[in-house]
Each structure stands twice: as C-alpha cells, then as structure tokens.
Structure 1
Amino acid sequence: MGIESVVNVVVTTLTGGVTQQGFGVPLILGSSQRFPERVRYYSTTRAMAQDGFLPEDAEYRMAARVFAQSPRPPRVAVGRRANRPVQSFTFTPTVANATRYAFQVDDAVVEYTSDASATGAEVTAGLVAAWTALTNKPAVTVTDVGPGTAVKAVGAVGAWHDVRVLTPKVLAVTQDGADAGVAADLDACATEQPDWYGVLTPTPSRAETLAIAAWVEANRRLFFVASIDSAHLGAYSAAQPDADTFGALKAGSYMRTLTVQQASTGDFADAGALGYFLATLPGSVTLHLKTLAGVTVLALTETQVANLEQRNASPYVTLAGRNVLLGGKVAGGEFADVVRDTDWFVARLKEALFQALANANKVPFTDSGITVVTSIVGGQAREGVNAGFLAEEPAPVVSAPRASEVPAADKAARRLPGVTLTAYIAGAIHSVDPLSVTLSV
C-alpha cells in the first residue's frame, strides 16, 4: 500500500503565460525583396548583409540609424512590400537672375545657374539638361513639367534614392509618389508577424504617409515619418490646413503619427527618433530635447521652427550648442510618450485580467470575486505609478459595485460592469517659464 491511499497529491501546473504585446520593436517597410516571407527580424545590420541587403538599401540604412541610438532596440522587423512604390519628386524653382539651382540624387549632383534675364522655362530646361549631361547617374527620369514650372524626378518601381535640395531658398521640393497599396502590405505583415509596434517608411509621399497614418490609427500602432517637403517650412494656414502633408495630418487629428522635417530622404530622422523611443521603458521618457545619433540638423530660421510647430511637427535643431528634437508631439497634438504609455498600460491591464480569469477554476460572482478583479486593476495601476506613467498623488482609485448591486441580466451573462480606475498621468516638465529671480544687495 502506498502513501497515496492517505495523501494523494494532484499537481496542476498553471504557467500563467499569456502572450504580451510588445512595444519595443519598429517595423521598417521595404521593397528590396531580400527574403520570401513578409517579415524578418534582425538584431544587427551584419545579419541583414548576410541575407543580401546592401549598405545602400533603404532598409539597411534605416536599421543602421535605429541601431545607432543609445539606448537602441534589441531588434528591428523588416517588412517586405508586395506593392512596391515609385519615388517621385517635384522641384519648383523661384525664378531669380544669376542664381544657382541644385539638387542631388544619391551621388549625382545636378545644378544650373541662371543668366541675367532668367525665366522659369530657362531654369527648368537648364536643370533637365544638366541631369541629361551627367554620366554614371542613377536610374531616375528627370523631365520638365509645365514646361517652365517645375522639374519632376521619378525612380523605378521599388527603387529607393537619397534625394536632397542643395539650394532650398530658391528650389522647393515635394515628394508626390502615389500610394501603391501600403495598407495591404501592413495588413500582410501584421498577419504573419504581429510582434512590432512602430512603423517606418523610406518613401513618405503624401499619399503613402496618409495611408499609413490611417492604418496605425485603426490598428493601435505608432508611425514616425520624416519628410523633405519644403511646404512644411512655410506659414500654416488655418483656412487651408491640409495644403501640405504635415498640415493634413494635423487637420485629420491623427494621434499616432509623429512628424519630423529633415534635409534629405536618407537622413532618416524618423528612424533615429523611433529607435531611441522604443528602446526606453514605457513611462520613463519624453522625446523633447533628445539627441539623435547620426541625424543632420536643418538650418532653420525661428519662423520656420514656429511653422513646423504650428503643424505639431518636431523640429531637430541646435539649442545651446546641443542637437535636440523639439516637442515630441503626434500630429493630433498629444505627446507621443502619452500615446505609447497608454497603449502599454491598457495592454498590460487586459493581459493581467485575462491571466487571472484563465488561471482560476472560477472567479465567483460575489464580493470576494469582485475584489479579485479590483485588486488586479489596482496592482496594474501601481505598476503604472512605478513606471512613471501615472502620478503617485493623487493616488489611483479603483471602484466596483457590490455583487448585490449588479443587475440580474449582467449576472446571468456573467459580465461584471461598473469597474472604474481613476488615475492621473504623471506627464513631464518641458520648460520653466517664467522663472522669477530676485537679487538683493
């Protein structure tokens, strides 16, 4: 006879494991077609090179910018696009006599200097002729549109080029490629591998930017986007708020898209900002006054900085001898850290409640069972305080009805209504204004 006839121990293993939503991985959308699946994760650019990525590939360069930050995410996701976009840029000159006009595509510089009686037709024709005369230039078609109004540069399907304007005072640029179907690409990436939170694109035309902004809004992700469009530096018009891409994002109240102005398409200020941001713990950081490794500072006037801020964009400037990002707001006006931290808090709260309900044989519909629920909510609130997301004072308050107060229909459906958490976001101090100093002798 064994001891089991007296004491029979039955072991039930509850791992308590639920899949936690990740908030530290950015997805880089790319068209290089280096692997067959829709998403592949990388922890180094060396690993990307082993899969055939080239240093000039947009995905490789964006990942390098992400990994250059300190802190940096442990890995990035690279998404393979099936709907490959076409890069398209329109350059519009301001006609002036004896003036140099220049832009650059990859290593190819095209420039033209007007004569003493300049016309628009002369300038645009001169730029096209200068491009045509170049040797060993990238596979980009440059044409005179108008004519005399603007010059358009168009790449091949799926190709990416580093483009910048070298004379921004007299040559405006707009990235105006069509949306090739980026929402469908994002759907496919999220279906195959959903463990990423931020989105980056190397081809931020207006159409593609707005499509991604709409997608992340519906799918509770974040989108950081950097643009070279000159219109963002001009005055913001409340009468025509969607005249440019950043203005359209603000007018659409997009609460999950952060915008940055940059000098060239290859600066990837968005990748630097998102890489730094996602490497930090929720509740621990704000993007305001942060330095981004490898990102070029734009020479902006105070008026241009103010114009970007009117659009809720984040200028990257030199302040007190230090290169810093200003603001850190999403297009809709909220701070990006509040959006990310709220997503994290809500996800962890849902996961904690699910885990408790799934691991218990039963949580009874009694006052003691309701206490189980409120204790979990209160515990998550304390975690939010400890993380720096929620304010310690006034303290978070959790409330719920007594079992006897729950309507019979809800009890019959085994649904507990009326549980509330009241808490305050801790926020952050971004400025001290005014600081009054009294000096006495």
Structure 2
Amino acid sequence: MPTQSLADIVNVTVEVSAVAPAAGDLNLGLIVGPSTIISDTERTQVYSGTDDMDSDGWTGTEPEYKAAVAYFAQNPRPNAVVIGRQDTTTPETPLQAVTACRASNSDWYGCYVCGATDADIEAIAAYIESVNPAATFFYDTQSADVASGTTPNVMSTLKDSNYQRTFGLYSSTVQYSGAAAMGVAMGLNTGLANSAFTLAYKTLVGIATDDLTTTQVTNIKGWNGNVYTNFGGKYNLLVQGTMADGTPFDQVLNLDTLQIDIQTAVVNALTSATKIPQTDAGVTTLVNVISSVCAQAATEGMIGPGIWNAAPVLGLQTGTNLPNGYIVLADTIANQSEADRAARKSPPIYACVKMSGAIEHVVIGIVVNQ
C-alpha cells in the first residue's frame, strides 16, 4: 500500500561534528647527526624504536643510533623519536641542521645533537630559547673546565646568558648521556593522572655514573648544570634537574603544556561553535573552557592547592587560598572599550594558577629523650 514520507512532518538531518585538534603532547625528542641514511631532502624521520631504524637501513654504528639506544632505554620508555639529518656535504652547522629539522617537523619538544662542540651548544641554546613552537635542548659535555670550576666554560656561559630552555649534563666519559636524560623526560611526560614529575633523582638506564668529588659536583651544580653520580654508595642519581638559568625542567615543561593546552582548547571552542556571543555569557563559555584545562593540569599534578602570594588580579587578592590550585577570571563586557568591542575581542581573561612544585631537599631533626 502506498505510504507518505515522514519527512513532510518531521525532517531529521544528521551532522557529524569534526574532531577538534588535540594539543601537542610535548613528549617527542629529536636527535640530530651527520649520518646519510636519511636524505638531505627528507631531513627527518620518525621512529618508534631502534627496530624501526634497523628496518630503515641503520646499522647500529651511527652516533644517532647510539643516542637513540640511550633515549629508548629509559623507564618509562618514550613512544617515538625524530632522527634529523645534518647535511655535512654543504657543509651545514649543527645549528643550521636543527633549524632545518624544525622546518621539516615541528612536533618535537626535546632536542639532542650528536657531537656538538661547546660553540655549537651555545649557538643551539640561543636558537631554542626563542623557537616556536616551544622546545628544549639537552646536551652533555666532557669539558674539564666545568668540573674544575675554571671559567669561562660552556655551562657558565649558558648560565650567564640566563637560558631557561637548555639542560646540560656533565659526563666525563659517557657519550649520549644527554640523550638518555631527554629520554627520561619524554618517557615520563604521559599526561595521565598524577603523572607530573621532576628530573631530580632519576636513574639513567644504561648510563654509567661519573666518579666525581664533592668539589666537582658543587662546581657543576654552581653553573646550574647536572650530574649523574653515586650518592651514599647505594643510589645512582641524576642531580639536580635544572636548566641553565636554574629553573627546574618540570616548571618549564608544565608551563609550556598549560599554555599550549589553553590555546588549543580556546581555538577549538571558537571554531566548533557557530559563534560565541560578545556577552558576559559568551565570556563565561571561554572561562569554562580554560577552567577545564586547568582542572586537567591539577589532575596531572602540575597545579596544586595553595595561597595566592602574587599581586592581585581582578577580584583575586594576595593571600587568598586557592583550594583547587587555580581560578579563571575575566573582566566584564561593560568595562570593554568601544574599539575592542568593534574588533570583536573578549575582555581580558586571566588563568591564575598555583604550581604544585616539588620537595627535593629535606631537613630532619632527630630529638632523643632517654
């Protein structure tokens, strides 16, 4: 029997929303070297392990391969590495190679360069300081001047330059220890609950400790450098987990992560909505998006409860307790200038966060009563 279409009464359409882009994980390292397995035109190749490199023609004798072995040996193991080609037939400096590798693949966050001299390290550190997207640089040095306290040396120069994105490891005999430290950082950065970490007191799997005197360790740490040595006859530890300016590595990583995650979440909100109205309700939508990112950072352990000791921000006063470790505030539409309204800008939004920090030094008093 003939029947009529229900679409004349109720017309239902199906629209599948596009998947919003995810923020970068900041857990991918780059290893740069002069071997010719990767062509100079291809420039970079991503590998999930040394087995992948074997299949691609690497023999295991190349400096990049040995650095990758140190990188992947860490626990937890990093998921992948980018191997970059330095084209020495041009000839090309390590800095030029890193710059070219950034143009070829911008996903990497950590960087290690095989065979870099002190001059190369200083040049790459300056580049990494301003590169976009944000990145970090790991290096190792065998410079005797670093351990003896003789200046200038590569660590003292980087410290004086106040570089916040360069992690230096003194290693008198072991090559590729910087790649191992990068592997620890990339492997630990999982984004899971309670996954926040520091680089202090970690083990470098497959890397022998340096036999250093207390004076040598003090000298190296004085340049904001790092060592891998034995403590108390029982513990092989990476100390102290800081960048050239003294900032802990985890603080640099956490702030980079928070910035990128907030930026990505807000762009996704703007592009997925038909529009976000230029009203207080529209601003609240953005505040909620940013708050969700901060909540995730708190879940990971980057942000923690504490007292806001910085200058006042809108209604947030110095001395206020932040039980969640963050608060997101925005000015009102009513306070917006006509020029900003005409330009369709939001009022200023502030994500005020309290970093959870880390306890790395403990003082204990034993009080005995007999």
Answer yes or no: same fold by TM over 0.5. Answer: yes
Aligned partner of 2:315 in structure 1 is: none
Distance in 2, Cα, partners of 1:83 & 1:305? 36
Aligned partner of 1:362 in structure 2 is: 275
- Residue 316 of structure 1 aligns to a residue whose secondary structure is strand
Question: Are positions 1:299 and 2:185 aligned together?
Answer: no
Question: Are positions 1:6 and 2:9 aligned together?
Answer: yes
Distance in 1, Cα, partners of 2:14 & 2:328? 34
Aligned partner of 1:17 in structure 2 is: 20
Distance in 2, Cα, partners of 1:345 & 1:43? 26
| Aligned 8 A contact 1:216 1:256 in 2 | yes
Counterpart selection for 1:196 from 94, 108, 127: 108
Aligned partner of 1:71 in structure 2 is: 76
Aligned partner of 2:312 in structure 1 is: none
* Superposition RMSD in Å: 1.7
| Aligned 8 A contact 1:66 1:275 in 2 | yes
- Residue 315 of structure 1 aligns to a residue whose secondary structure is strand
Distance in 2, Cα, partners of 1:365 & 1:236? 60
Distance in 1, Cα, partners of 2:89 & 2:249? 29
Q: Deviations over 1:411-434 (max 9, x none)?
A: 11011132111111101000102x
Aligned runs of 1:284-433 on 2, under 5 Å?
284-320=196-232, 321-393=234-306, 394=322, 395-433=325-363
- CA, structure 1 residues 344+84, in 2 after alignment: closer, same or farther (shift >3 Å)? farther
Distance in 2, Cα, partners of 1:244 & 1:9? 71
Question: Are positions 1:275 and 2:198 aligned together?
Answer: no
| Aligned 8 A contact 2:143 2:172 in 1 | no
Structure 1 residue runs of 5 or longer lacking an equivalent are 86-156, 158-179, 238-242
Distance in 1, Cα, partners of 2:10 & 2:300? 45
Question: Are positions 1:438 and 2:356 aligned together?
Answer: no
> Quick one: which amino acid aligns to residue 421 of structure 1?
A
Aligned residue pairs total 341
Q: Deviations over 1:292-342 (max 9, x none)?
A: 011111111100000000100011110121111111000011000110111
- CA, structure 1 residues 381+236, in 2 after alignment: closer, same or farther (shift >3 Å)? farther
Distance in 2, Cα, partners of 1:263 & 1:182? 22
Q: Deviations over 1:136-173 (max 9, x none)?
A: xxxxxxxxxxxxxxxxxxxxx8xxxxxxxxxxxxxxxx
Distance in 1, Cα, partners of 2:96 & 2:23? 25
Structure exhibiting the larger radius of gyration computed from Cα positions: 1
Question: Are positions 1:217 and 2:129 aligned together?
Answer: yes
| Aligned 8 A contact 2:287 2:349 in 1 | yes
Distance in 2, Cα, partners of 1:419 & 1:16? 26
Deviation at 1:83, TM superposition (A): 4.1
Counterpart selection for 2:158 from 222, 244, 249: 249
> Quick one: which amino acid aligns to residue 160 of structure 2?
A
TM (normalized to structure 1)?
Answer: 0.74
- CA, structure 1 residues 351+3, in 2 after alignment: closer, same or farther (shift >3 Å)? same
Deviation at 1:51, TM superposition (A): 2.0
Structure 2 residue runs of 5 or longer lacking an equivalent are 307-321
> Quick one: which amino acid aligns to residue 191 of structure 1?
A
Q: Identity over aligned residues, as a percent?
A: 28
Q: Which runs of 4+ in 1 moved over 4 A?
A: none
Distance in 1, Cα, partners of 2:367 & 2:118? 51
Distance in 1, Cα, partners of 2:116 & 2:95? 13
Counterpart selection for 1:226 from 116, 136, 140: 140
Counterpart selection for 1:59 from 53, 64, 85: 64
Q: Deviations over 1:52-82 (max 9, x none)?
A: 2222210110000111111111111100112
Deviation at 1:215, TM superposition (A): 1.6
Aligned partner of 2:36 in structure 1 is: 33
Deviation at 1:4, TM superposition (A): 1.5
> Quick one: which amino acid aligns to residue 387 of structure 1?
E
Aligned partner of 2:311 in structure 1 is: none
Aligned partner of 1:207 in structure 2 is: 119
| Aligned 8 A contact 2:332 2:347 in 1 | no
Distance in 1, Cα, partners of 2:220 & 2:231? 16
Distance in 1, Cα, partners of 2:160 & 2:88? 27
Deviation at 1:11, TM superposition (A): 2.5
| Aligned 8 A contact 1:22 1:196 in 2 | no
| Aligned 8 A contact 2:94 2:113 in 1 | no
Aligned partner of 2:170 in structure 1 is: 261
